[in-house]
Chain A
Amino acid sequence: MSAFVWLTILTALRILARNRLRAGLTMLGIVIGVGSVIAMVSIGEGAKRAVQAQIATMGTNVIVIFPGVTSASGVRGSQGSAMTLTVSDALDLKKRIPLLADTAWAKRDVMQIVYGNRNWNGTINGVSPSYLTIRDWAFTSGGSFTQTDLDSAARVALIGQTVVENLFESGEEPVGAMIRIKNVPFRVIGVLVPKGQSAQGADQDDVVFIPFSTAERKVFGTSFIGSVGAMFGSTDQVEDLPMAAEQIREVLRARHRLQAEQSDDFTIRTQVDIGKVQEGASETLTMMLFAVASVSLLVGGIGIMNILLVSVTERTREIGVRMAVGAKRRHILMQFLIEAITLSLVGGVLGIILGIAGTKLTTLIAGWPTIISGNVIGIAFLFSLVVGLFFGLYPANKASRLNPIEALRYE
């Protein structure tokens, strides 16, 4: 039987080689289908990976807590407009929730920064030292400020890459330089490693960090000392995030003395929530790809079926002869099935080559990140096999059911 299968494959290849143009046109549907699926999945994967990398720049296992909104006679303010969260909330959360590895707090405002004869309007963040560890922020030069700096409201600043570029000559060392924020002099003690865009598209490097206490007492002029713009928490395990978020909610509700019927005066977001939005988007993309792939493989499969039906008619006499010399039904069935599968597999392989080439070209020309996964190639290959099998079955069955006498007489 195996000699028969090999010879049939060889015969099928030879028949295809003989009608190269016809075989090529027949395979085109499969080639384009498989090729476009591989290219699109690779580009999609690349985009997904890029977004995941952006989400990762938030830090590891981060929970963000915003204050609620103000409500004056039914007119509601923007998110974070209420001053319901305080430094003592943050400290208490860390004390009462063992799941939390660390907590941090921050407050921000856009202000003018001056260095020598240059100036820049950037986001000034008053933060606790733990903020930088939660967000996994490293330094290209210098280092972070300490608890002592926070306690003493020291005038020290950490600056991001965008700020460096706008205030300093290239090659100039920012660490040790004196900059002024709202006319208050600060010593730059660290330059932050660039993080690029956030998942929302904001420039994360256009940033200055100063100790929280310095910010509220010397720069922002806060009326309500101790209120924060946002709080942050982190857990050791990503699985702990939902549980930690729930515990934070309970503790904060208790601290804020909220009755059961009152809604939260704060909002909690975890990194998992933010990731879910992205996942939803990529799921939609996957569904669309699946639809495109199905349609193109369907068209390709119909092409194969069509050409095989033509082939069965053209070779009716040959089928008759084969039956006369002893071919059984399954022999004829196998012969045409193998021809169909050969067509679709050769088409599939060409499609894979086309898809990889297209993907590489996209990276080369458009500069998009792409990831070619072995899984996609495997699935594409498998799909072309199934298409060949499925669409070859009808013509092959038709051939195998021919009456040998009529087939031999066929003109």
Chain B
Amino acid sequence: MAALIECEDVWKIYRVGDVEVQALRGLSLTIAQGEFVAIMGSSGSGKSTLMNILGCLDQPTKGHYRLNGIEVDNLKPDRLAGIRNQQIGFVFQSFNLIPRTSALENAQLPLFYRGLSLKEQRAQAEAALRRVGLQGREQHYPTQLSGGQQQRVAIARALVTSPSLLLADEPTGNLDTQSSQEIMKILETLNRDEGITIILVTHEVDVAASAAREIVIKDGQVLSDRVTKAKPTFSTVEA
């Protein structure tokens, strides 16, 4: 199976005044196409830094990161923006929907930067909202939606570009149990039926249980990496 993510001896070093913070220390990681991975770790373990690098929001200080065969380190910010737009979908803990903007337009947002015609944007965003079960709520504003529904809009926004990688950073952190289960079900379905690679950061063990592989990060390095579920037999639908 093709490797989607290849991290090779990745270092991330910040300077805060005179203090040097080593957030990642020679981390190596390979994630294949179609995997569902949970990344766990205490705060300060470096998992947020890792997510930023995996999501092409940040670049490693040292080492190499290849996404879908593309060397991402050393790319210019605009190239990174293009890669995020084409390859990656983000789901955040706090939803991060644009306020006072309808669900449909929120879901449209990534297509906005692709220069598609308004009609195409609409059609694809409507389809994405249908996939997360939000048909009929296209014109609702975030304030008119429940937390679970807002997170589903965010997932639709992540899906609308048909990304090869979906990064979910504590997607259930702000949700009640029932909404959490709904969201996880959607993610599982996307992974199982459409073969989208999902990387999930979470504190909660039962949320991590949805994933087939669990990576624990500590002090900027991989502490443990284990398969928790037998490999599901999904069809390798490329994104």
Contact = CB atoms under 8 A, between A and B. Distances in A.
A330 B77 CA distance: 11
Interface residues of B, number: 29
A321 B85 CA distance: 11
Interface in A305-334: 317-318, 320-331
A325 B98 CA distance: 12
Contact of B52 (A318, A325, A331, A405): A405
Interface stretch (A1-9, A90-98, A170-178, A196-204): A1-9
Contacts of A46: none
B90 interface: yes
Chain B CB count within 10 A is highest, among A317, A318, A321, for: A321
Contacts of B99: 318
A328 B55 contact: no
B115 interface: yes
Interface string A370-411: 000000000000000000000000000000000011001000
B57 interface: yes
Interface string B54-70: 01011000000000000
A325 B58 contact: no
B234 interface: no
B171 interface: no
A408 B96 CA distance: 8
A276 interface: no
A3 B121 CA distance: 10
A328 B85 CA distance: 10
A326 B85 contact: yes
A3 B96 contact: no
A18 interface: yes
Given A321-B98, A321-B109, A324-B90, A329 B115 contact: no
A408 B92 contact: yes
Contacts of A1: 115
A18 B100 CA distance: 9
B98 A318 contact: yes
A72 B124 CA distance: 102
B118 A3 contact: yes
A398 to B, nearest CB: 15
Given A327-B81, A404-B57, A3 B110 contact: no
A325 B114 CA distance: 10
A328 B98 CA distance: 17
Contact of A4 (B86, B92, B96, B115): B115
B117 interface: yes
Contacts of A322: 98, 109, 113
Contacts of A7: 112, 118
Given A327-B113, A331-B113, A405-B57, A317 B118 contact: no
B82 interface: yes
B137 interface: no
A63 B112 CA distance: 71
B84 interface: yes
B92 A325 contact: no
B84 A317 contact: no
Nearest to B100: A18
A327 B98 CA distance: 14
B157 A329 contact: no
Interface in B64-105: 77-78, 81-82, 84-86, 90, 92, 96-100
A73 B161 CA distance: 102
Contacts of A327: 81, 113
B52 A323 contact: no
Interface string A1-39: 101101100000000001000000000000000000000
B112 A328 contact: no
Given A405-B58, A408-B92, A325 B110 contact: yes
A328 B96 contact: no
A138 B113 CA distance: 73
A326 B114 contact: yes
B116 interface: yes
Contacts of A328: 77-78, 81-82, 113
B157 A325 contact: yes
Contact of B84 (A3, A4, A325): A325
A372 B92 CA distance: 57
B86 A326 contact: yes
Contacts of A324: 55, 57, 84, 90, 96
Contacts of A3: 115-118
Nearest to A331: B113
Contacts of B98: 318, 321-322
Contacts of B57: 323-324, 404-405, 408
9 contacts: A3-B117, A321-B109, A322-B109, A322-B113, A324-B55, A328-B82, A405-B52, A405-B57, A405-B58
Given A320-B96, A405-B58, 14 more contacts: A1-B115, A6-B118, A7-B118, A318-B98, A322-B109, A322-B113, A324-B90, A325-B110, A326-B82, A326-B84, A326-B85, A326-B86, A408-B57, A408-B92
Interface of B: 52, 55, 57-58, 77-78, 81-82, 84-86, 90, 92, 96-100, 109-110, 112-118, 157, 161
The 7 closest A-B pairs by CB, nearest first: A326-B85, A325-B110, A326-B113, A328-B78, A328-B81, A321-B96, A326-B84
